[in-house]
Amino acid sequence: MRNLKLNIEGSWWDSLLYKGHLHLFGTDGSISVFAWETLVSELAQSIAGAEKALRFAFSESNAVYRSTMNVEDVRRCFDELPATEFDISSKELAKYRVSQADSGFPFPHATSSFHYDRMIVATSRGIFGSHYNTNTQDRSEVVRLSPVGANQAWPAYGNVAVAAGNAGLYQIDIRVQDREWPKEQEGDHLSARTCEACDWMFGNIIGMSFEEGSVLARFRTRSLNDRTSPDGADAFQSDDREADINWQRSFSSVDRLEEVVRSKFDPSDRKPLTWGSQDKLYKVEGKNLVVYRLLYNGKLQFIGKLDLPANLTNLVSVKTSLFGLVFEFDDSLLVLTSDGQAHALDGEPVNWRVFPRSRRYENHLHVLGETSLAIYSFNQDVEQDQFKKLIGTRAPANWSE
């Protein structure tokens, strides 16, 4: 399946896609909201035969995993495209602007995300939140949820995982069942180890550290079979992947991952580099990347090993998504897709992000440059065996329905 790229002219600090709208944070502290679904639809209509491929690539990527979908037909849609790269000028983009206002968040921020119609933003001054009206695209007044300065805030299961640098790893309960935000709090301090980044492995939280060693905060999950989304909406319509996951959690323990996955390849004076997301944990062993699966019983199972696509000595960060792994270096990005192919993206980005918890945009990589936003659509994953692939998270089983 061909990979596609959409270039959008303009200069922004950050981007978010949520429930059919593109949110762009300006370098002046503003935020603009654009009708993304309409933009993609009208772009597709302007190119003969492009409607299905562009819809799958940029606005409904989960559709290609449905059991009723013929992969050969989908591949043909992509193969028949006259090009793999498309452009939207700033003038064209302006036609789709729904609103523009001051964001209300401290600028510059570290990360932004949505969770159950709540915008969560991590900054050096703490974690901030704002309720979002999906009908009007209006937001409530910004409130500070936590005074803990953070490199990253990553919400899931009604909580926010916080990578707080030297302060360690935290979790904040944002009480999604309530209409009001909880009182400002530091939250649960899960680990004192330096934490550069965090992610979710089902209901567990992984805190990544380059020097001190990564940790896995484990939680017990209780099944709630009759659970619906907090606002009573049909869970299928939610853009949060956890919307149909039973999620009541209670803290269990914190594992030091170097003790769990240690091998003869690990130098005695340095903790191995490990990170994970959803069903998989990755560990660097020399020139190899070792892959483990997190089982439902909480155990880690070795499932394979592959050659590293590059020397990670100058690695700045790494993120996992459905389509693969994204490595950030000082002046480039390297994407290792789930089919084992490496894609080099030269040039230092202003910012970049993936959408691993989305239902519709999980194949996106957004790279923000000085003069444009490049949206890469990686589409090879549907051709991979989701239970056997080593690279990237597994597509949810209910996507085949």
Given a cut of 70, is residue 194 above it in pLDDT? yes
Beta bridge partners of 31: 25, 101
More confident residue, 296 or 140: 140
Given a cut of 70, is residue 30 above it in pLDDT? yes
And the tokens for 313? 């000595």
Given a cut of 80, is residue 246 above it in pLDDT? no
What's the whole-number mean pLDDT along residues 154-172? Answer: 97
What's the whole-number mean pLDDT along residues 368-396? Answer: 96
**What are all long-range contacts of 168-171, with beta carbons under 8 Å and residues at least 24 apart?**
168/192, 168/193, 168/194, 168/195, 168/207, 169/193, 169/195, 169/198, 169/205, 169/207, 169/215, 169/217, 170/146, 171/205, 171/217
Sequence ranges of the domains in the chain: 1-94+309-401, 104-274
pTM, to two decimals: 0.93
And the tokens for 30? 């503003």
Predicted local confidence at residue 236, as pLDDT = 33
Confidence of residue 225 (pLDDT cuts 50, 70, 90): low
Predicted local confidence at residue 234, as pLDDT = 35
Q: Do 261 and 283 form a contact (C-beta atoms < 8 A)?
A: yes
Q: What is the mean pLDDT of the chain?
A: 91
Given a cut of 70, is residue 264 above it in pLDDT? no
Predicted local confidence at residue 227, as pLDDT = 45
Residue 257, burial from CB neighbour count under 10 angstroms (0-12, 13-18, 19+): buried
Confidence of residue 222 (pLDDT cuts 50, 70, 90): confident
- Least trusted range by pLDDT, from 69-83, 206-220, 236-250: 236-250
pLDDT tens digits along 292-351: 999 888 889 999 999 999 999 899 999 999 999 999 999 999 999 999 999 999 999 999
Predicted local confidence at residue 69, as pLDDT = 84
In angstroms, the CA 388 to CA 56 distance is 23
In angstroms, the CA 12 to CA 350 distance is 8
Given a cut of 70, is residue 268 above it in pLDDT? no
Confidence of residue 34 (pLDDT cuts 50, 70, 90): very high
Q: What percent of the chain has pLDDT over 70?
A: 92
Predicted local confidence at residue 241, as pLDDT = 53
Q: Tell me the residue type at 252.
A: S
What's the whole-number mean pLDDT along residues 104-110? Answer: 98
Given a cut of 60, is residue 10 above it in pLDDT? yes
Given a cut of 70, is residue 57 above it in pLDDT? yes
Predicted local confidence at residue 378, as pLDDT = 98
Given a cut of 70, is residue 401 above it in pLDDT? no
What's the whole-number mean pLDDT along residues 19-27? Answer: 97
Given a cut of 50, is residue 230 above it in pLDDT? no
- Tell me, rounded to whole angstroms, the distance of Cα 104 from its chain centroid: 23
Phi-psi region of 304 (alpha: psi -120 to 50; beta: other; left: phi over 0): left
What's the whole-number mean pLDDT along residues 45-49? Answer: 91
Predicted local confidence at residue 221, as pLDDT = 82
Given a cut of 90, is residue 271 above it in pLDDT? no
Predicted local confidence at residue 237, as pLDDT = 38
Given a cut of 80, is residue 239 above it in pLDDT? no
More confident residue, 326 or 134: 326
Given a cut of 50, is residue 231 above it in pLDDT? no
User: 231, 219, 147: which is closest to 186 by C-alpha?
Assistant: 147
Confidence of residue 66 (pLDDT cuts 50, 70, 90): confident
